[in-house]
Amino acid sequence: MSKTPLSTPFYVAKAIGAFDKTCVNVKFDNVVGGQKAFTKVMTGDVDFGTSSDSVIAFQSLANKGFVTHAMFVQSNNDVKFLSRSSEKVDSVFDLKGKKIGVIQGTASEYFVSILLALEGLTTEDVTLRYYKPEALINGFINNEVDAFVPWEPFAFNSTKQLRDKVKVHNTKNLNSLSFNLISLTADNLLVEKAKCIIQGLSIATDYIAGNQEESKQIVMRELNLSAAFIEWVWPDYIFKLALNQSLIFSVQSQAIWAVATQMSEFEKVSDVERFIDSRAMLQVIPNAVNVSQ
């Protein structure tokens, strides 16, 4: 499970014993970033993982044997663009010739391409430098990049550490990110386990909707976060279980982008629908499923 407030439904489910009310025992293995969670799923170290739609898109190009069972949260402002204040980046066009730090093969890198496209620019007009999520700020501090694109909580932590040395740009609604429950291609037993997890997540999302402040406190304790940070990100989150066409569109768009920009060594976009397994969701919340398989 990726250590981020996007994983809130899992933290809440754990805190209120939601999984105890279903048919599965859950043990958590916390990692930094959806890529690491995805890798643990693929190596068989864990049964399930949390992953962004971006990671799903890029990994689908390799035709790996995995599926998505459900989206459990969406945000239109989790990935943020930060630039050095002294560089006076007032518009996207000012990024031309700049060095930008990103996390390769994730929502971070895809986000940059969308941002640049607004002014007719491409990644060839800038220099991308790749970092692990926790190392982005060091690249900035060491003057290796002029700007960087972190997700939360790294964006918030960077603003607090760098203060007036960094400018946070308003990019809300530019790109929507979802977090998803993934596993290896599922047999009947794994689908049954996925159903049980989704049942627990359903209890948790209902609790979040009716107990906002209590839910914030749970996440703050679990991740050792400040109240200021939670207030910073919480309005951008929609905690809701779903499996719909928006996920397919997002994954497909990002996969097409990866091939078109030659970010990937693969030359063909896979059939996205084959990475969606709706069987568990159809047993728990059938009206939240809107995919063709």
> For residue 292, is pLDDT > 80?
no
> For residue 194, is pLDDT > 90?
yes
Residues 155 and 135: their CA atoms lie apart, in Å, by 12
SS3 content of the chain, % helix, strand, coil (to 5): 50, 15, 30
57-61, 96-100, 201-205, 280-284: least confidently modelled range: 57-61
Residues 239 and 71: their CA atoms lie apart, in Å, by 9
Residues 150 and 109: their CA atoms lie apart, in Å, by 10
Maximum distance among all Cα pairs of the chain, rounded to whole angstroms:
57
> For residue 179, is pLDDT > 70?
yes
Q: Which of 212, 92, 89, 91 is nearest to 146 (CA)?
A: 89
> For residue 166, is pLDDT > 80?
yes
DSSP state of 186: P
The confidence score (pLDDT) of residue 109 equals 87
> For residue 266, is pLDDT > 70?
no
Other Cβ atoms less than 10 A from the Cβ of 63: the count is 13
DSSP state of 75: E
Q: Which of 33, 60, 40, 8 is nearest to 255 (CA)?
A: 60
Arithmetic mean of pLDDT, 172-191: 91
The confidence score (pLDDT) of residue 214 equals 97
Cα distances (angstroms) measured from residue 141 to each of 1, 71, 78, 103, 126: 29, 35, 22, 16, 19
Other Cβ atoms less than 10 A from the Cβ of 190: the count is 19
**For residue 188, which amino acid is it?**
N
Query: Confidence class of residue 47 from pLDDT cuts 50, 70 and 90?
Result: very high
Of the chain, the percentage scoring pLDDT greater than 90 comes to 60
The confidence score (pLDDT) of residue 268 equals 77
Strands 177-184 and 66-75 come out as antiparallel
> For residue 293, is pLDDT > 60?
no
Query: Confidence class of residue 263 from pLDDT cuts 50, 70 and 90?
Result: low
Residue that is written with structure tokens 């692990």 in the block:
132
Arithmetic mean of pLDDT, 138-153: 93
> For residue 134, is pLDDT > 60?
yes
Return the structure tokens found at 64.
Answer: 């790996």
Mean pLDDT of the chain: 90
> For residue 153, is pLDDT > 90?
no
Arithmetic mean of pLDDT, 256-265: 72
> For residue 264, is pLDDT > 70?
no
Return the structure tokens found at 155.
Answer: 């964006």
Strands 82-84 and 147-148 come out as antiparallel
Other Cβ atoms less than 10 A from the Cβ of 2: the count is 23
The whole-model pTM stands at: 0.82
Arithmetic mean of pLDDT, 233-262: 88
Query: Confidence class of residue 18 from pLDDT cuts 50, 70 and 90?
Result: very high
The confidence score (pLDDT) of residue 286 equals 95
The confidence score (pLDDT) of residue 253 equals 87
Residues 253 and 30: their CA atoms lie apart, in Å, by 29
